[in-house]
Chain A
């Protein structure tokens, strides 16, 4: 050993001496982002001459002929510059966003990104923290190829839906598994009111403060996720919360303030009152002149009289009268005491929403202790005047080394969130968005024109005076989430660790729904109050042994362990009616009371193991195996085996040299099996339920016929990827192919109703998802203080059902209110829209025309295809599908000195959205009392506009618009500037003057620009592609300030 050292020294001396004669000085400045960089190392490649830059970033070094200088600094990308003939070399170093040797969080541990054999996408805290959203999920949009973030609702506190690599299940969940600090956590919606008012607001993940997040890792393929076994088929989202950094205590404070004055796009903009009156007149007028009854009076006089009668009937009581002396709309005049005025409901019910958020954290680390603690308060408003969200959260992450062996870590968080006034439904009259677009005429007033008293009777179907009734009802939800994760690690031997983790996660949601005796929904029972309490408990215990050791060029990582998980939800409801006073909203005061309470749960026990091997940091092999037992399945099927194998090859320098331009090349491949459990906890049991009472006695009914063979859904995923870097890794990226076969899919198989049931849950069916995902990042420009980089993600995926029970189609409706219809059919996408094929409008008569798609007698042909005027003669077909051809994001970062501009776009090309509100706002005459859209007004058939998009309005045309048809199907393509961030970081010496180590101010804009193929409504939609009356997304402008001490 000593000899070796000596030899090396001698060699170095000889080397230095041999070139000493030709050495010459080189000097320059090293900068980062336009600022001088002190402490950067400057060395001669292949020699051990090295210097460090001074406080002004300057250096001077003596170099031999033909040398290459290496500039390096922690956290920045190392730069190599051939000296050539230069005497001055100024270098600007890149921020290294995705360093190849970044450590990322993976299943049950960490890994270097460059050696990880699975498919994972990582988002660091910088990308999460500035998006003004209450849930981190929003920040994932467009960032990771193959990860689709669908924002269904713009209500305060609403959470987006996440799909990783498409739809893999019909009946079970398609949501990924969320793992926080190594522990699987409850996700999705807690609580009950959200079901009643159809609002996705009780998102448990929303209780996690985005400012506490260090990184988010998305595991996409089986190699990455199989260690999570039966819950990993939809991918896994790993969240690591923050830790302290070595050094003195660091205090971070952040305040942001935002406002949302408008929606991001048009959303079924209503026609003006005058236009709506014209359409109203026209539809009744038309119904008379087209009356086919023998002997009917079809004269303009009769038609006009009928139309005016309807108008007068509806609006006289509101202070308007109508006349049309020449029996056409040309002479249409509005009179009455309120003539010339109207009530602005939108102004009354929608507002500029305000967002505020304050975060304070203290963190640091010493030799034995690491801590991070935070306190955060967020208040978010929806655009509906009723809709508020608030969150207060606190966290303490602490780890302490005890002696040389033990390390104890404790992550504890408490969060309380409150939502009130949510409503996204079509059928409840408290949805202000739907009311202003479809229900409330400007001619309706909140007061009686004669008496001036509150108008309390119904205006028209589902339209009430919300100014009055908003004070007569109330709903809300409080969620308190407490989570404690205790981990004990023992470093038993060098390379051998034992780790045991105990966690308790509790989310208690208390909700209420109140209608006063004055409210129309509460009047029948003299006021009602419902209190719901849902208490979700999750306990996880896992113990793993981890062995990590290098032997020469071989290195090995072995992991084995077990895990048990217990889930229990307690539910209670207390309801009261016949309330004594409008001042009190408690069940205690109610004259009549009703209650229920029960619990449900599921348990799981698992063993898990994995092995990684690498040779010379060039060849990698890994395998994993997990066995899960679940209480959701019967004895014979409850244990399942899940595994994966993967390998990768980093192309050696020696080979790379022959590939001009390439600086990095790696191939990886994996294959594995994951699973998905049924949604139902007790699906394998035949149960008698006692939910039906009869004459105050309990009644029992057989609720299901059992399926003891019920088992997991199993998905088999193959993944093949090429990672590359060219031009000194200035352009780098990944191209990835995946093929996921989801088998034994659970399906509610329709069965003959003669059995007494309509469906039975069975493991039948196969869905295939496959595609190519691309991630590209380019460091485009870095000189004179300007730094510009950009990147893009794209996923081209195909989703197809390859097998169904007996090859039989399954037609299903959107589950909440059947607003869209779909079909499962072999060879087609699992999200295929099913309905009648609309052939547009007959230019001669203004009637709806439908393609027959069957052998029945045609009324006419359109584009050479048989068509009919009678929709009931036509047959339903697949009219489109949700899946886009490609979706992803584009981002760009531009910085100059302390100033930075970030833009993040998300896009979808191809695929359809189903416009369920279209039946309401472009109605042909079925809904007499509703207002219609500007789109309908501009595009309806009239004798002057015969080539119209929409048919002639006719008050007797009852049903066409209500059919599930391609009339309501539109292109889903769009690109959106999801987030724009302008920030300025004060130079350190200026920040220092106020005693701060960092000062940053920023402006963030959400949804500022949207280009959509169909512009009538916001193209962002929930995962099922159906648009409803959810509150649309807004344009949010946020201003923030960050201080660090």
Chain B
């Protein structure tokens, strides 16, 4: 009897002693959000989180580049159903193939950025500001600008079409309440904020190179791109020329060009996203596999090949160094439609793997071509100079003169240089040009969702607001892009 009572009372003591702690458990692999960012080092960890989120397959890790290339006419497909080919066939609607993952992933990245910026403000308010913290703030602001720039181009009509009068994207600048229902701003409003963030960021970033992260030059390079997309050639030229004249970066020599695809952080890399094994490595779903020849290695599905138009363009000079990264494709051993930019020709990428390969988002060559294009209306000599710096990669073509230089030549050069680097389609839409598709490799050649050519008047030149957003946010329903409702 006594024993029983003893046992029972000790049990009561054991179990009841610390009831509060007993019922307050925290995970072992995550931290409470309110205490997560308290130092500059914590802000650095948060920046890593943003960069890693940008490397998602739904953003810079794969889809955003595919969107820019596969719709741009330089790329075609041999067979439907190999993955991501609906980008090529423009088979988009709000409910199917809406690529709503762009919407969710980029806003997810923006949540991280806004959360970081709010925490930095709090730390500044607590007197914990520092140069290091300023640097992270500058990076965060620049990244926010880049993300809204990308969203505005995916979902809004080009700024140049009507001065930004059409609808852009919702634009929260702080962490939203979970039940917030934001509506779309105009493209012009988006670009105003983008420029503001870029300028604010520029002021905070030191003028030195930081590989794998946003630095001062990456900020400037994004400014050059943004101004070009707004048709502000003066500002675009100024930004581009500042980067060029600072000489922190150098164009690849012709004999180094092919090898540049086998190493990370080359001399041209202004903004490069690190893709490491066991991080954002997409394996057989990576860009490298998508552009590789069908079954070149196990898991290569031959998703995309170069269009015949692109192959002929590059064939203007058989000695063009850029042939060096092309490979024959599945259709014949002479059609050089496969591309090894993301794997290197040895399939070892930049770190020994065909899929854990950094993604070069902005290279110096692009800055030269932005400079060429921006100079063209006012200074043909300068335009020709910048173009020729890239054009010399086709040694037999010779320099263009100030009188010969043209937008067509600059765009053709950009095509040759930036195949599979996510630029083409956006340039074509910005300039109001028509994209012609090469459907000849397909059999049966039936693409019911678009015609053989597309320009920015086609409603599918921009994406629909995804159905999930319309369902959860009734306020935005009336703002669906025309043609999708």
Measured CB to CB, the residues of A under 8 A from B are 287-288, 291, 293, 306, 405-406, 457-458, 461, 488, 490, 492, 498, 500, 520, 523-524, 541, 543, 562, 564, 566, 592, 594, 598-605, 629-631, 635, 638, 681-682, 685-703, 705-707, 750-758, 760, 808-809, 811, 872, 876, 926-927, 955-956, 958
Task: Determine how close the nearest CB of chain A comes to the CB of B329; give it in whole angstroms.
Answer: 16
**In the complex, which residue of chain A has the Cβ closest to the Cβ of B95?**
A876
From residue 258 to 306 of chain B, which have CB atoms closer than 8 A to chain A? 274, 276-279, 283-284, 295, 297-299
Q: Kindly identify which residue among B25, B81, B107, B115 contacts A601, using a CB–CB cutoff of 8 Å.
A: B25
- List 22 A–B pairs whose Cβ atoms lie within 8 Å, in order of A's numbering: A524-B298, A564-B22, A566-B22, A605-B15, A631-B25, A681-B27, A692-B48, A692-B49, A694-B51, A695-B212, A699-B45, A703-B30, A751-B472, A753-B100, A753-B466, A753-B472, A756-B108, A756-B111, A756-B114, A756-B176, A927-B81, A955-B444
Report if A752-B26 is in contact (Cβ < 8 Å); known contacts: A293-B445, A492-B1, A926-B81. no
CB distance from B120 to the nearest CB of A (A): 14
Supposing A692-B48, A698-B48, A703-B30 touch, asked if A752 and B469 sit within 8 A by C-beta, the answer is yes
* Nearest chain B CB to A556 CB, angstrom units: 22
Please give the distance in Å from B80's CB to the nearest CB on chain A.
Answer: 7
Contact B23 A631 (CB under 8 A): yes
Q: Using A287-B444, A492-B4, A543-B11 as known contacts, say yes or no to A685 and B110 having CB atoms under 8 A apart.
A: no
Q: Specify which of A592, A751, A755, A758 lies most central, judged by the most chain B CB atoms within 10 Å of its CB.
A: A755
CB neighbours of A695 from chain B (8 A): 48, 51, 212, 274, 276, 279
Cβ-closest chain A residue relative to B27: A682
Cross-interface CB contact of B24 among A635, A698, A751, cutoff 8 Å: A635
Known: A293-B445, A602-B25, A872-B96. A693 touches B48 (CB 8 A): yes
Answer whether A699 and B27 are a contact pair too, CB < 8 Å, given A541-B11, A956-B444. Answer: no
B15 contacts A562, C-beta separation under 8 Å: yes
Q: Decide if B34 is an interface residue (CB 8 Å cutoff).
A: yes
- Fill in one digit per residue for B108-148: 1 if any A CB lies within 8 Å of its CB, else 0: 11111011000000000000000000000000000000000
Question: 4 closest A-B pairs (Cβ-Cβ)?
Answer: A756-B111, A699-B48, A692-B52, A686-B33
Residues of A within 8 A of B28 (CB): 598-600
Contacts of A698 in B (CB 8 A): 45, 48
Query: Are A694 and B468 within 8 A (Cβ)?
Result: no
Given contacts A685-B33, A690-B45, A755-B177, 11 further A-B contacts (CB under 8 A): A488-B7, A523-B299, A524-B298, A564-B15, A629-B23, A692-B49, A692-B279, A693-B279, A694-B274, A752-B472, A755-B172
A694 and B26 contacting across the interface, CB-CB below 8 Å? no
Q: Which of the listed residues A599, A604, A686 has the most CB atoms from chain B within 10 Å of its own CB?
A: A686
For B54, give the chain A residue with the smallest CB separation: A694
Q: Which residues of B contact A629 (CB under 8 A)?
A: 19, 23
Contact check, B298 vs A520: say whether CB atoms are below 8 A apart. Answer: yes
Interface set of B (CB-CB < 8 Å, partner A): 1, 4, 7-8, 11-12, 14-16, 19, 22-34, 36-37, 42, 44-53, 55, 80-81, 93, 95-96, 100, 103-104, 107-112, 114-115, 170, 172, 175-182, 212, 274, 276-279, 283-284, 295, 297-299, 354-355, 443-446, 466, 468-469, 471-473, 476
Given A488-B7, A692-B279, A694-B48, also A458-B108 (CB < 8 A): no
- A754 touching B172 by the CB < 8 A rule? yes
Most buried by B among A306, A688, A758, A811: A688
Q: Which residues of B contact A488 (CB under 8 A)?
A: 4, 7
In the assembly, what is the distance between CA of A498 and CA of B472, in Å? 55
> Which of these, B30, B104, B274, contacts A682 with CB under 8 Å?
B30
CA distance A687 to B44 in the complex (A): 17
CB-defined contacts of B27 to chain A, threshold 8 Å: 598, 600, 681-682, 685, 687
Q: Are the C-beta atoms of A524 and B283 separated by less than 8 Å? A: yes
B34 touches A686 (CB 8 A): yes
- What residues of chain B lie closer than 8 Å to A811, measured between beta carbons? 471
Instruction: Tell me if B446 and A956 are in contact (CB < 8 A).
Output: yes
Q: How many angstroms from the CA of A958 to the CA of B52 in the assembled complex? A: 36
Asked whether, in the complex, the Cβ of B49 is within 8 Å of the Cβ of A458, the reply is: no
Q: Is the CB–CB distance between A699 and B36 below 8 Å?
A: no
Taking CB atoms, residues of chain B closer than 8 Å to A566 are 22
Q: Are the C-beta atoms of B53 and A524 separated by less than 8 Å?
A: no
The answer on a CB contact under 8 Å between B299 and A520 is: yes
In the assembled complex, how far is the CB of residue A780 from the closest CB belonging to chain B, in whole angstroms? 52
Evaluate contact between B471 and A750: CB separation under 8 angstroms: yes
The answer to whether residues A755 and B178 also contact, given A500-B7, A564-B15 and a CB cut-off of 8 A, is: yes
Nearest-CB distance from A512 to chain B (Å)?
Answer: 19
CA of A492 to CA of B8 in the docked complex: distance in angstroms? 13
Whole-angstrom CA separation of A298 from B438 in the bound complex: 22
User: B63 → chain A, closest Cβ, in Å?
Assistant: 16
Whether B295 lies near A457 (C-beta < 8 A) is yes
Q: A457-B295, A524-B299, A594-B278 are in contact. Are A638 and B15 (CB under 8 A)?
A: no
Contact status A754-B284, CB under 8 Å:
no
| A688 and B30 form a contact (CB under 8 A) | yes
**CA A694 to CA B61, docked complex, whole Å:** 13
Option from B16, B33, B476 in Cβ contact (under 8 Å) with A688:
B33
Chain A residues in 8 Å Cβ range of B443? 306
Alpha-carbon distance A757/B107, docked complex (angstroms)? 8
Alpha-carbon distance between A638 and B19 when the two chains are bound, in angstroms = 12
In the complex the two chains form, is A693's CB within 8 Å of B276's CB? Answer: yes
A694 touching B49, Cβ below 8 Å: yes
Contact A750 to B472, CB < 8 A, known contacts A490-B1, A605-B23, A692-B49: yes
- Docked CA distance A757–B50 (Å): 15
Contact among A691, A754, A876 with B29 in the assembled complex (CB-CB below 8 Å): A691
The answer to whether B12 and A760 have CB atoms under 8 Å apart is no
Q: Once the chains bind, are B48 and A958 in contact (CB under 8 Å)?
A: no
Q: Which residues of B contact A687 (CB under 8 A)?
A: 27, 30-33
Distance from B483 Cβ to chain A, minimum over Cβ atoms (Å): 13
**What residues of B have a CB within 8 angstroms of the CB of A492 in the complex?**
1, 4
